[in-house]
Structure 1
Amino acid sequence: MATTNIWQQFKSLLPEGARTVVTITSNNGDGTSSATLRDGTSITVQGETVVPGNMALIENRVVKAKVPRLSAYGVEV
């Protein structure tokens, strides 16, 4: 049965879980990798598909894909 609640319809368009870009620092050899967030925090993620030194997209602490290293700019409004 389709919902008529507009909020629920909107939420169904959005992906579940948090997506974050990290720098892979090492592959641990046990199916996990060590990664660094943009703020310098170190975390452990599942997956060893990205070579250390490269950027990766993670979703719910699982490596999803290698991503290119792009410039970041901050704009104050």
Structure 2
Amino acid sequence: MSNALREFLSLVPDAPLLVGEVTAIANELRTVTLPDGATITARGVGSVGQQVFVRAGKIEGVAPALPVVEITL
């Protein structure tokens, strides 16, 4: 990879790591509800009611069940 391309790619942010609750399962897809109420679908392992970490449509693991704190500026 050329240096210019490598520098350009370093400017593009990685997909964010999200946390949410698995609310439905259909085949291999999980519906995950985020703290703001939005829903996304992701592939991976997770049971209904379980908190999970999701990045780029893939469940990366189980998240601890902690209270949500929203900070607004």
TM-score (norm 1): 0.68
Secondary structure of the residue aligned to 2:37 is: coil
- One-letter identity of the residue aligned with 1:46: R
Q: Do residues 17 (structure 1) and 15 (structure 2) align?
A: yes
Q: Do residues 57 (structure 1) and 50 (structure 2) align?
A: no
Higher gyration radius (CA): 1
Offset of residue 75 of structure 1: 5.6
Q: Identify unmatched segments of 5+ residues in structure 2.
A: none
Q: Identify unmatched segments of 5+ residues in structure 1.
A: none
Per-residue CA deviation, residues 13-62 of structure 1 (Å, 9 max, x unaligned), is xx83211001100121x211111111111221112x11110100001111
Q: How many residues align?
A: 68
| Map of 1:34 onto structure 2 | 31
Secondary structure of the residue aligned to 2:68 is: coil
Query: Structure 1's 40 and 31: CA in aligned 2 closer, same or farther, altered over 3 A?
Result: same
Sequence identity percentage: 20
